[in-house]
Amino acid sequence: MIKRAIAIIVIVLVGAYIVNRYFENKAKKEAKRAEAKRIEETISASVSEMVRRTNAIDTWEKVLTKGERFRLERILTVELERLWLTERLILFIGAIKDVVTADKENYRMEIERSLFSSLEPMFGTELQLTLQCSKQKVDLFLTEHPNLFKDFGVKNGVAVVADIDEIDTKLVSGAEGERKEIRVGKGKCIDMLYTGDVEFLQ
C-alpha cells in the first residue's frame, strides 16, 4: 500500500514537472516570437520612414512583375532604365556582397538581392547595385553591426536608398558553366538601414 502511494506521488510529481516545463517552454517561445515581431515591425517602420523622407521609389519591383509573385523571363535593361534612371531615388532591399576602397573619402559597395530572405517578387534575372558610399557612413554602419557577415550572412540584410545614374550588364559563369546575366545599377548611396533577416514581402 505504501509502495503504491509512493509510486502515485512520484508519477504526480513527474507529471507536474513535465507540464511545468511544457508551459515554461511555450512561454519562452511566445516571448521570442513576440520580440521577433516587435523587431520586424520596428525595422519595417524605419524603412517606410526612410522612403517617405527621401521620396524614394519603392514600387519598382511590382512594376516589373505587374503585381505577380514571380518573373522568370529576362528583365531588359531598358525596363530598369525607365524605373531607376529618373529624378527620384530608389529603395533597394538586399545584402552587402562586398566593400572596396574607391578613393580617400569613399568606398564602393556591392549589394545584391539576398539569397537567404524570402524576397517577393522573385526574379529570374539577378539584380545588383554598385554604389559609392562615404567611408564615414559605411565604417559607422559596420561598427554598429559587427556580426553582419557571421552565420553565413543570414542576417546581413540592408535597405538602401540610392541615386542610380547608370545600368550595366555583368556576365558570370553559372554553377553548370552557363553564362548568366546580372543587371547592375551604378550610382551613389544616399541612406542605409540594417534589416537583418527581416522578410519584406511585397
Q: Decide if 139 is inside a domain.
A: yes
Measured from the Cβ of residue 179, the count of other Cβ atoms closer than 10 Å reads: 8
Number of folded domains that form the chain: 2
Query: 127 with 183, same domain?
Result: yes
Query: 148 with 188, same domain?
Result: yes
Query: 44 with 63, same domain?
Result: no
Query: 45 with 121, same domain?
Result: no
Q: Residues 6 or more apart from 66 whose CB is under 8 A from it? A: none
pLDDT in tens, 65-74: 888 888 888 8
Query: 128 with 50, same domain?
Result: no
Average pLDDT, the chain: 83
DSSP 99-123: EEE-SSSEEEEEEE--SSS--BSEE
Q: Decide if 170 is inside a domain.
A: yes
Q: Decide if 13 is inside a domain.
A: yes
State whether the Cα torsion 70-73-74-75 is positive or negative. Answer: negative
Q: Decide if 132 is inside a domain.
A: yes
Per-residue pLDDT at 133: 95
Per-residue pLDDT at 58: 92
Q: Decide if 201 is inside a domain.
A: no
Query: 124 with 80, same domain?
Result: yes
pLDDT in tens, 118-133: 456 788 889 999 999 9
State how far the Cα of 83 lies from the Cα of 59, in Å rounded to an integer. 9
Query: 66 with 98, same domain?
Result: yes
Query: 86 with 152, same domain?
Result: yes
Query: 91 with 189, same domain?
Result: yes
Query: 49 with 90, same domain?
Result: no
Q: Decide if 202 is inside a domain.
A: no
State how far the Cα of 159 lies from the Cα of 112, in Å rounded to an integer. 11
Per-residue pLDDT at 147: 77
State whether the Cα torsion 187-110-115-149 is positive or negative. Answer: negative
> What average pLDDT score do residues 22-51 get?
78
> What average pLDDT score do residues 43-64 get?
92
Task: Name which residue leads in pLDDT, 200 or 137.
Answer: 137
Read off the CATH number of the domain in which 104 is found. 2.40.50
State how far the Cα of 137 lies from the Cα of 63, in Å rounded to an integer. 31
Instruction: Look up cell 548611396; give the residue.
Output: 189
Q: Which of 54, 82, 98 is the last residue of a domain?
A: 54
Task: Name which residue leads in pLDDT, 171 or 183.
Answer: 183
Query: 100 with 45, same domain?
Result: no
Query: 27 with 105, same domain?
Result: no
Q: Which domain holds residue 4?
A: 1-54
pLDDT in tens, 144-158: 888 777 765 566 789
Please report, for residues 1, 43, 156, the alpha-carbon distance to residue 193 in angstroms, rounded to integers and kept in the order given. 69, 8, 11
